[in-house]
Amino acid sequence: MIKNIDHVFPTEKIKEGKTEVIVPKLEAFKSKASDYAPSKAPVFYNPIMELNRDFAILAVKSYQKMVKRAISFCEPLTSSGIRGVRIGVEVPEIEKIVIGDINFRAIKLATLNVKINDLEDLIAIENQDANFLLSKYGAPKKRFDVIDVDPFGSPVPYLDTALRALRNNGMIALTATDLAPLCGVHPKACKRKYGGNPLRTEYCHENAVRILSGCVAATAAKYDIGTNLLFSHSNDHYLRVYIQIKYGAKKADISINNIGYILHCFGCFHRETVKRPFSKKIEKCPKCNSKMSWTGPLWLGEIFNKQFCELMDEENKHVAFRNNRKIRKILSLVKDEINESVTYFVLDKISEKLSLPVPSVNSVIQKLRDKGFSAVPTHFNSRGIRTNASALQMQDLIKEYAVKNSL
């Protein structure tokens, strides 16, 4: 049990990676089966996000290898402190960690976790609003190398202060759990928060990564900061991006040049990218004459960096996470996706449109390669394929497959 002046709540000790911490005992906060225990607890803790935290450990280690020096780290929404404490325990050559939360009970729990891991000399804990905390570190000699913003919902309210609290060549890690707006279920909310128009397409999770990354690039550009997306992934109910920043107006201009739009046809699944939304006539699909839809502004540049992914893959070989196998699979898929086409096709959607049986992903990939196209699976969707084949060529291939397998 964790005790303070006015509250007592059930807790338990858990282990993630090499780190042991005290967290709320979630079962104690469920009165009925439909209750979402993490939000019912007095201090937020979500065990499903262990994969997210594992990737964070690998990413911070990989970033450290890139910059080749000791680094500083900040987590302004720390809750139980589990992420910041894991960084302190599992990442070597950390010179300073600052964690904070506005919730006093969270601070009490985080303080305990820092103490039981003997990290009092490394980790500073602040009971502050996240934006206020980050603003305190906006001066040149106070800034951090890595800032990790993992909110419940959108990270956008913390973007300005986080970017200003990052040193040159620093890395910002962002989690977004508000996938309904980003994936087009609540488009007005997406426009308000991210400044972009979403679409309910089969590649909506990649689209969400690109809308968030475009929002980061546009926000950073206000401060003459350029952005470079190192890694992104989408799992369960959230998406995650790791972005390195570089100071300079020219760097910002280059980033802004990577922002554009995706034009999409719901009739035949044709899609294409444009830098300016009205640079061509977009009312009708050029392939089937259906009405064209659009999404953006969003990031059209790379959403994975080859060097960074390879560094993470190597780091994953030297840790003992419960999620090692899952991480290895995601990184293997991601490394194949680098430099491939923007967006992917989902076989189920095309087959449903054609009223045909759904072929296996592997068989379609092989047939595409046999025909001279590039084709790889995507980690965003187990039924998705990135390819330079057009939507109509994909339809023709699935028709051929159906005819062959009906004989």
Q: What CATH code is carried by the domain that includes residue 86?
A: 3.40.50.150
Q: Which residues are registered as beta bridge partners of 226?
A: 246
Residues 51 and 128 in one domain: yes
CB 129 within 8 A of CB 106: no
Residue 100 backbone phi and psi in degrees, to 5: -155, 160
In-domain check, residue 17: yes
| 291 shares its domain with 348 | no
Q: How far apart are CA 336 and CA 377, in angstroms?
A: 8
- For residue 65, with 0-12 CB atoms within 10 Å meaning exposed, 13-18 middle and 19 or more buried, which class applies? middle
21 and 152 inside one domain: yes
pTM for the full predicted model: 0.95
pLDDT for 29: 82
Residue 330 lies in a domain: no
Determine, yes or no, domain membership for 111: yes
**pLDDT, tens digit, 9 for 90 and up, residues 80-103:** 999 999 999 999 999 999 999 999
- Residue 14 CB partners (closer than 8 Å, separation 6+): 20, 21, 23, 47
pLDDT at 402: 85
Domain's final residue, options 285, 306, 327: 306
Q: Does residue 271 contact residue 277 with C-beta atoms inside 8 Å? A: no
* pLDDT at site 279: 59
- Which of 257, 283, 306 is a domain's end point? 306
In a domain, 27, yes or no: yes
In a domain, 317, yes or no: no
3-state helix/strand/coil string of the chain: CEECCCCEECEEEEEECCEEEEEECHHHHCCCCCCCHHHHCCCCCCHHHHHHHHHHHHHHHHHHHHHCCCEEEEECCCCCCHHHHHHHHHCCCEEEEEEECCCHHHHHHHHHHHHHCCCCCCEEEECCCHHHHHHHCCCHHHCEEEEEECCCCCCHHHHHHHHHCEEEEEEEEEEECCHHHHCCCCHHHHHHHHCCECCCCCCHHHHHHHHHHHHHHHHHHCCCEEEEEEEEEEECCEEEEEEEEEECHHHHHHHHCCEEEEEEECCCCCEEEECCCCCCCCCECCCCCCEEEEEEEEECCCCCCHHHHHHHHHHHCCCCCCCHHHHHHHHHHHHHHCCCCCCCEEHHHHHHHHCCCCCCHHHHHHHHHHCCCCEEEECCEEEEEEECCCHHHHHHHHHHHHHHHHC
With respect to residue 337, please indicate whether it lies within any of the assigned structural domains.
no
Judge if 153 and 77 occupy the same domain.
yes
CATH code where residue 371 lies: 3.30.56.70
Q: Give yes or no: residues 262 and 381 share one domain.
A: no
How many whole angstroms separate alpha carbon 333 and alpha carbon 361?
A: 13
Claim to verify: residue 155 and residue 290 sit in the same structural domain: yes
* 152 within domain boundaries: yes
**Given phi > 0 = left and psi -120 to 50 = alpha, else beta, which region is 68?**
left
For residue 325, is it within any domain? no
Range of the domain at 275: 2-306
Are 287 and 386 contained in the same domain? no
pLDDT digit string (tens) for the chain, length 407 residues: 444 433 578 899 999 999 999 999 988 887 776 667 777 888 989 999 999 999 999 999 999 999 999 999 999 999 999 999 999 999 999 999 999 999 999 999 999 999 999 999 999 999 999 999 999 999 999 999 999 999 999 999 999 999 999 999 999 999 999 999 999 999 999 999 999 999 999 999 999 999 999 999 999 999 999 999 999 999 988 999 999 999 999 999 999 999 999 999 999 999 999 988 665 667 889 999 999 999 999 999 999 999 999 999 999 999 999 999 999 999 999 999 999 999 999 999 999 999 999 999 999 999 999 999 999 999 999 999 999 999 999 999 999 988 887 65
| Domain-ending residue, one of 278, 306, 334 | 306
Task: Examine the domain organization and report whether 156 and 267 are in the same domain.
Answer: yes
pLDDT of residue 278: 65
DSSP β-bridge partners for residue 103: none
- Shared domain for 44 and 137, answered yes or no, is yes
pLDDT at 120: 97
Same domain, 69 and 136: yes
User: 63 with 165, same domain?
Assistant: yes
Residue 400 and residue 289 share a domain? no
Counting the structural domains of the chain, the total is 2
Q: Which two tokens stand for residue 245?
A: 């920043």
**Which residue has tokens 């293997």?**
332
